[in-house]
Chain A
Amino acid sequence: QKEVEQNSGPLSVPEGAIASLNCTYSDRGSQSFFWYRQYSGKSPELIMFIYSNGDKEDGRFTAQLNKASQYVSLLIRDSQPSDSATYLCAVYTGGFKTIFGAGTRLFVKA
């Protein structure tokens, strides 16, 4: 059973702080890794993807991948109340299917 694990939270951070979201996956053959943001009552929205070990930065967001540890993370710098949402980690393991974690709820306090 291929799995993607996330802490359900909620993760609460003050406005302006760095939010760190973590995800582990079970399939060592996983190829692509994604972070989606889902606001309450809305559908998921892709915010980052990463393929290679290391860091990938896009504005206030940084995705980090460590394939040896089977670990992917998302850092959100200068967190804003509008970042409050559920963040879904997703892993492509082959066979044209992407497996999603259950998500981490983030709450940014103004």
Chain B
Amino acid sequence: GAGVSQSPSNKVTEKGKDVELRCDPISGHTALYWYRQSLGQGLEFLIYFQGNSAPDKSGLPSDRFSAERTGGSVSTLTIQRTQQEDSAVYLCASSEYRYNYGYTFGSGTRLTVV
């Protein structure tokens, strides 16, 4: 696609429910990143995918968080048993040459846990 597409744009969920966030990167971009941005805060790294290599999951805050990338393209971030502290904007980014030329971000998913 022309840009990084994320869905849904907004998600309100009840505490304890599971949610799935989707990211469709720019066609041909081999690197895909998930970041989280809480209100007024910087970007917190969550997970990185590069091609068919094993993902770098070092930023995932707990085992309630998981992510997968199918066919080297679309990625899904899953949060199980959501907590109020999970409320944030979840941003997906992709890049063509990994880190060298910076990232293109999607418009994000605003998650609110009530």
Binding site for B on A (CB under 8 A): 31-32, 34, 36, 42-46, 49, 88, 90, 92, 95-103
Chain B residue contacts of A42, Cβ below 8 A: 107
Q: Which of B1-57 contact A (CB under 8 A)?
A: 31, 33, 35, 41-43, 45, 48, 50, 56
Chain B residue contacts of A99, Cβ below 8 A: 45
Q: Which of B83-114 contact A (CB under 8 A)?
A: 91, 98-108
Chain B residue contacts of A95, Cβ below 8 A: 56
A44-B91, A90-B102, A97-B59 known, 8 other contacts, Cβ within 8 Å: A36-B102, A46-B102, A49-B101, A96-B48, A96-B99, A97-B48, A98-B103, A102-B42
CB within 8 Å for A103 and B42 given contacts A96-B56, A97-B48: yes
CB within 8 Å for A96 and B31 given contacts A42-B107, A44-B43, A101-B42: yes
Taking a contact as CB atoms under 8 Å apart, the answer to whether B107 and A49 are in contact is no
Chain B residue contacts of A96, Cβ below 8 A: 31, 48, 50, 56, 98-99
Least CB distance from B56 to A in Å reads: 6
Taking a contact as CB atoms under 8 Å apart, the answer to whether A43 and B99 are in contact is no
Q: B58, B100, B102: which has the most chain A beta carbons within 10 Å?
A: B102
Query: Interface residues of A: mostly helix, strand, loop or mixed?
Result: strand
Closest 8 A-B residue pairs measured CB to CB?
Answer: A102-B42, A100-B43, A46-B102, A43-B105, A92-B99, A100-B42, A34-B102, A96-B48
Q: State A92–B100 Cα separation when bound (angstroms).
A: 9
CB within 8 Å for A88 and B42 given contacts A42-B107, A43-B106, A96-B48: yes
Chain A residue contacts of B35, Cβ below 8 A: 100
Chain B residue contacts of A43, Cβ below 8 A: 91, 105-108
CB closest chain-B residue, reference A100 = B43
CB closest chain-B residue, reference A44 = B105
Chain A residue contacts of B91, Cβ below 8 A: 43-44
Chain A residue contacts of B104, Cβ below 8 A: 46
CB within 8 Å for A88 and B56 given contacts A43-B107, A97-B48: no
